[in-house]
Amino acid sequence: MASGVYLFQGNYLVVPESAGGLPDAGVDKGLAGAAFGQLDYREVPSFAGEPGIRGALLGADVVIPPGWRTFSVRQAVAESSGAGRDGVCAGVPASPVLRLYHVLQWREESRFCGSCGSPNGDSPEELARVCPRCGRVEYPRISPAVIVLVTNDRGEALLAHNRKFSKNVYSLVAGFNEAGENLEATAVREIREEVGIEIKDLRFVTSQSWPFPNSLMVGFTARYAGGKLECDGIEITGADWFSAESVRDGVPELPAPGSVSRFIIDAWLAEVRPGEKTDTIGR
């Protein structure tokens, strides 16, 4: 794939201003070296037998020199979505840059062994950190989370405003899997906790690696089964049922393209023709 390298600082890609946006082939390594000196590059193998993709993290204290700029990793996801590149099957396209970003973040956070505190090394055989003293092996951290589009009998979808979202953005209810819980139970619990309702007919739609940080978003649809809509007021500060017409008219504002939430909402909109009710997508 890419012959160049990718540089990250926090949640940003660092790119030459001349690149315009996210350079598809990465940044020339010589150019990166001239600007930032010697960096700790890590190559991440791809899944499909293609050449790997290489990159490095810049420390938070590194000053971005003239001629370079930062570019939000999430924005890069949004801009690369829709093109369907590297999509393994229908669903949200996989992103090699996101995979690299995930691995680099994890590598930075696993510098020391969690058992004995010795500095970890990279395994030569697999994507893992290995402690040279006690042999503890650590793999990239991945935290599963569910995200659910719930519809009611009127064919409306439940969209909620999380206090972390931009002002008018409403999206799907989501939450992290707890230890000892299967994903179905996570979905039921999160929806009950955050908006007070019960669901039925939970169905898997698609999933997406979402390293902000280290999540695996598992997308479902479900149907309303009972209860009164009531926000928890902690995470969710607004929630309501919205018709497809309303959402098409821009009410409420949706999350940016590229996220699994937007993918599932768009799939639902595509299923609901004007003036028609529907159950759920994915069946």
Structure tokens at 268: 């639902």
Q: Which amino acid is at 74?
A: R
Helix axes 73-80, 96-109, angle to 10 degrees: 160
Closer CB to Zn ion, 84 or 121, in the complex: 121
| Burial of 39 (C-beta count, 10 Å sphere; 0-12/13-18/19+) | middle
- DSSP letter assigned to residue 278: -
Task: Please report how close the Cβ of residue 134 comes to Zn ion at its closest, in angstroms.
Answer: 3
**Of 25, 48, 90, 116, the one binding Zn ion by CB under 5 A:** 116
**Of 10, 82, 87, 115, the one binding Zn ion by CB under 5 A:** 115
Range 120-179, binding Zn ion (CB under 5 A): 131, 133-134, 136
Task: Please report how close the Cβ of residue 51 comes to Zn ion at its closest, in angstroms.
Answer: 32
Closer CB to Zn ion, 33 or 119, in the complex: 119
Of 88-96, 107-115, 166-174, 189-197: span binding Zn ion (CB under 5 A): 107-115
Task: Please report how close the Cβ of residue 114 comes to Zn ion at its closest, in angstroms.
Answer: 8
* Binding string, residues 34-73; x marks residues near Zn ion by CB under 5 A: ----------------------------------------
Of the candidates 126, 122, 100, the residue with the CA atom closest to the CA atom of residue 111 = 122
Q: Which amino acid is at 179?
A: A
Of 77-85, 105-113, 171-179, 216-224: span binding Zn ion (CB under 5 A): 105-113
Pairing of strands 198-211, 214-226: antiparallel
Closer CB to Zn ion, 112 or 241, in the complex: 112
Task: Please report how close the Cβ of residue 243 comes to Zn ion at its closest, in angstroms.
Answer: 56
Phi, psi of 261 (to 5 degrees): -60, -45
Of the candidates 114, 116, 117, 115, the residue with the CA atom closest to the CA atom of residue 106 = 114
Structure tokens at 157: 């979808």
Of the candidates 43, 171, 21, the residue with the CA atom closest to the CA atom of residue 96 = 43
Closer CB to Zn ion, 120 or 208, in the complex: 120
Structure tokens at 103: 């691995």
Task: Please report how close the Cβ of residue 135 comes to Zn ion at its closest, in angstroms.
Answer: 7
- Cα separations in angstroms, 65 against 15, 21, 34, 36, 70: 11, 17, 11, 8, 11
* Residue 29 is a binding residue for Zn ion (CB under 5 A): no
Range 240-269, binding Zn ion (CB under 5 A): none
Closer CB to Zn ion, 3 or 123, in the complex: 123
Contact residues for Zn ion, defined by CB under 5 A:
113, 115-116, 118, 131, 133-134, 136
